[in-house]
Amino acid sequence: MRGFSMVSIWVFTFLLLLKISSCAGDSGVVNPCCYYPCQNSGVCVRFGTDRYECDCTRTGFYGENCTVPEFWSRVRLTLKPNTDVAHYILTHFHWFWDFVNNSFLRSTFMKLVLTVRSSLIPSPPTYNSKYGYLNWESYYNLTYYTRILPPVPEDCPLPMGTKGKPVLPDPKVLAERFFKRTKFRPDPQGASLMFAFMAQHFTHQFFRTDHEVGRGFTKGLGHGVDAGNIYGDKLMRQLQLRLHKDGKLKYQIVNGEMYPPTVAEVPVFMAYPEDFSPEKRLAIGHELFGLLPGLTMYSTIWLREHNRVCDILKAEHPTWDDEQLFQTTRLIIIGEIIRIIMEEYVQQLSGYLLSLKFDPTMLFEERFQYSNRIALEFSHLYHWHSLMPDSFLIDGDEIPYSQFLYNTSLFLHYGVEKLVDAFSRQPAGQIGGGRNSHESLLTVSERVIKESRTTRVRPFNEYRKKFNLKPYSSFEEFTDDEEMARGLQELYGDIDALEFYPGLLLEKARPTGIFGESMVEMGAPFSLKGLLANPICSPEYWKPSTFGGETGFNIVKTATLKKLVCLNTKWCPYVNFHVPRNEEEAKPRKPSTEL
């Protein structure tokens, strides 16, 4: 047995050396850029076989590896509080933020948040999954997701560069050991399932990976908030969903209420199980939104809101044709989406006491580019399946996943009002810290990990550096779960080899936070840049005439989640991205149209 073990060790060592040698090329020289030597966003350029240079242009640093701060960079680093201190200030001191929120300082702070966060996202785009260097294809070819960091060089000796083990851990093992829920852990920030379903419904308009072409490619050519999840991502689908009268979308009436039409009436592709008849398949903007009643609920609400706004515009502009009514209404809907996401959804997500404000005019005097490209890293980052509970509580009934998925009858049985009320009251799960994903959703996490390897996404710590965060020095620093730290060390061998997506999901959560530091500091720049870079937020678009006059403009500027729901339902349920905060909020509500 002992001799067999020694032979095994020698064989393993030989194979490892052989792999390293083959990865390093015939010369045996390792690509120096595989060591990620350039810091502070410096760009590594290889010369010959064993020499590199770091381009430190406009990084605020200089030196061989861009590590020496220039004068103003040194001043900024000295004065700037670290992210934990800044987060603490933004989530404490109610008396201070009450004063700020009711004064001119609210706009000042909001402008600072927007400019600081947005500046972290390169515009125009830089890399993609094929090119790790700047080139015209990366900029021009919209079928690619862009990349914040270039891929791991193909000729590195190890999967994540030069550190870690020669073989990355099995994604299924990672999911079972570190992602699988042991006991449901509610979000300590109080997010509701209404928030969770909005996260899915909202993001699927721009997270549309084209798996048939490749995992670094996207179907969504809009690369931002275009309401393609409501109107369809292609013109043909949009035309099929439209009524072609008064700017409206097609619909059916069930029990006196407006719902999406069936596929029997509107033959668009919807991803239902094969045994679903066309009469039971609802035809909506996104082909996957029949999966969950929560997604169908939001699609129905936006359908009703679109047609409601069309009626308002028709009354004000009787000479407008169907096309102008539709196109102007779509701009209003996009504006409503951005305002609700900015002022309520991101507000809930951040936990900040600063009241976030959607006011595009704040950036009109700034150097700001009104264009956006969706990054592959943002797509991976946003897989928040831990939000989903173990079962769903609706109108006194507990519904398991087996009865919840692809259940059009359930959606029509309860109706929009009861679903909104139920989802607004049920807590969503905590995302950070690991071990909080329902077992039925583990395959999605496995798929993300496989996709990140196929597209050679760089290690988690490299993204920490990119977003001005201190890289972790050990797994014990990374997580406060000792068993998890030991397990990750065993599987990865080095904290600098930890992958991007597992790093984001398993990082210790902030005290009373929905997730860890990295998710906030990396996710916020993507989100805010994407929202404010929308064309409707530009000086050319942000004016009454774009939205059909002051009436349409005011619909955008006064949009709220509550108005969205209650102006499109028979009675106004409890509707909030936050579960009830007190007994008064938790009381059943009487039918009401008051907003």
Catalytic residue numbers read 204, 382
Q: What are phi and psi of 69, to 5 degrees?
A: -75, 140
CA angle 95, 100, 101 (to 5 degrees): 100
**Element at 54 (helix H, strand E):** strand 51-55
Contacts of 266 (CB under 8 A, 6+ apart): 240, 241, 250, 283
Q: How far apart are the first and last CA of the chain?
A: 77
Q: What are phi and psi of 380, to 5 degrees?
A: -70, -45
Which residue bears the tokens 């052989």?
A: 18
CA angle 52, 57, 60 (to 5 degrees): 115
For residues 433 and 19, what is the distance between their CA atoms, to the nearest angstrom?
A: 34
For residues 544 and 546, what is the distance between their CA atoms, to the nearest angstrom?
A: 5
For residues 143 and 139, what is the distance between their CA atoms, to the nearest angstrom?
A: 10
**Helical spans, DSSP H, in 141-242:** 171-174, 193-203, 228-231, 235-241
Residue among 205, 521, 579, 193 nearest 386 (CA): 193
Residue among 146, 333, 143 nearest 227 (CA): 333
For residues 194 and 232, what is the distance between their CA atoms, to the nearest angstrom?
A: 23
Per-residue burial over 483-516, b if 16 or more Cβ lie within 10 Å, else e, is: ebbebbbebbbbbbbbbbbbbbbbbbbbeebbbb
Handedness of CA 196, 202, 203, 207 (dihedral sign): positive
**Element at 254 (helix H, strand E):** strand 252-254
User: Helix, strand or coil for residue 252?
Assistant: strand
The pairing of beta strand 61-62 with beta strand 257-259: unpaired
For residues 106 and 499, what is the distance between their CA atoms, to the nearest angstrom?
A: 38
- CA distances, 561 to each of 132, 491, 554, 578, 587 (Å): 41, 44, 15, 12, 19
What is the DSSP annotation of 302-366?
A: HHHHHHHHHHHHHHH-TT--HHHHHHHHHHHHHHHHHHHIIIIIHHHHH--SS-----GGGGTTS
Estimate the crossing angle of helix 193-203 against helix 408-425, to 10 degrees.
120
Question: Hey, what are 480's tokens?
Answer: 């406060």
CA angle 361, 191, 507 (to 5 degrees): 95
User: Helix, strand or coil for residue 165?
Assistant: coil
